[in-house]
Structure 1
Amino acid sequence: MAGEVATGQVADLEWLLSGLIQRVPYTRSAVLLSSDGLVRSFHGLDPDSADHMAALSSGLHALGRSAGVRFDDGGEVRQIVVELDSTLLFVSTAGSGTCLAVLAGRDADAAVLGYEMGMLVKSVRPYLATPARQRAPEHIHGL
């Protein structure tokens, strides 16, 4: 299943995700998300699973940023890899305020997948940026 959350500003990016999955054997699904966990586009998941993966990936990315601040003099997160029994989860920075999360089977070549994710991000980084959300007013006048 493929899809995208409509925001009125987001171009259809699903083709990027499906291309990545087709290029790297054993890769199953991908989610492009804002760093605060909102799905921008996804491929290979149902909408509920894409939302769950985005929330989880956002948390992992935040932990990586914290580690960079504490142990790497503010270094940026490049990639986080979670190795499960039968699955690999990759989370990488994909642009300002944006992350790319990819699920692959254990037979996937992690080096190739990491490289392909990096090349995808590098080639289209300006289009992947997610602007920071504005705070809602604390109170609305006239109500």
Structure 2
Amino acid sequence: MTQPQDLTWLLSNLVNQVPHTRSALLLSTDAIPRFYYGLDRDEADKLASLASPLCSLVQEVGKCFGGRQGMRQANAELDDGTILAITAASAGSILTVLADSKVNAGVLSYEMQQLGKKVPNSLATPSRHSTPEES
């Protein structure tokens, strides 16, 4: 199995192209930081451990009340005005961005969706459990 290329440059482009965006993190759905920009390693680990269950929660809300399993994006505004945006990237990957309150949320959302389409499926974390169909 070949290792995927370093995608930090994609995250860097997102942060630098969307004004008032501070950092971006690409993580696996089981909270493993894969690539990050604008964060140190400890911050990336902490943000990954918080973003992964939040993404799962939003997906469950979608199943229960939206009729579908997918998630486009979840956004939260923190007390200090920081914007937290989370979106599913490729299968098994999550894109998380932190931005200032002055960010244009529509532009950020669009750019996150575009970046998500560029993330290779090779980043997906393999399932740890076999499904009934595999048995």
**Could you state the TM-score of these two structures normalised by the residue count of structure 1?**
0.83
Give the match for residue 44 of structure 1. 38
Give 1 or 2 for the bigger CA radius of gyration: 1
1:17–1:30 contact (8 Å) kept in structure 2 = yes
- Which one of the candidate residues 11, 24, 31 is aligned to 2:25? 31
1:88–1:106 contact (8 Å) kept in structure 2 = yes
Q: Which runs of 5+ in 1 are unaligned?
A: 1-7, 136-143
1:134 Cα shift?
3.3
1:90 aligns with 2:90: no
Q: Which runs of 5+ in 2 are unaligned?
A: 130-135
Identity %: 43
1:17 aligns with 2:11: yes
Q: Which has the higher contact order (CA 8 A, sep 6+)?
A: 2
- State the alpha-carbon separation in 2 of the partners of residues 133 and 33 from structure 1: 15
1:127 Cα shift?
4.7
Give the number of the structure whose residues are more often strand, by fraction. Answer: 1
Distance 1:103 1:82, change over 3 A: same
**Regions of 4+ moved over 2 Å:** 125-129
Identify which range, 67-76 or 32-41, moves more after superposition.
67-76
1:131 Cα shift?
3.1
Root-mean-square deviation (Å): 1.5
**Could you state the TM-score of these two structures normalised by the residue count of structure 2?**
0.87
Give the match for residue 131 of structure 1. 125
TM alignment of 1:101-120, pairs within 5 A: 101-120=96-115
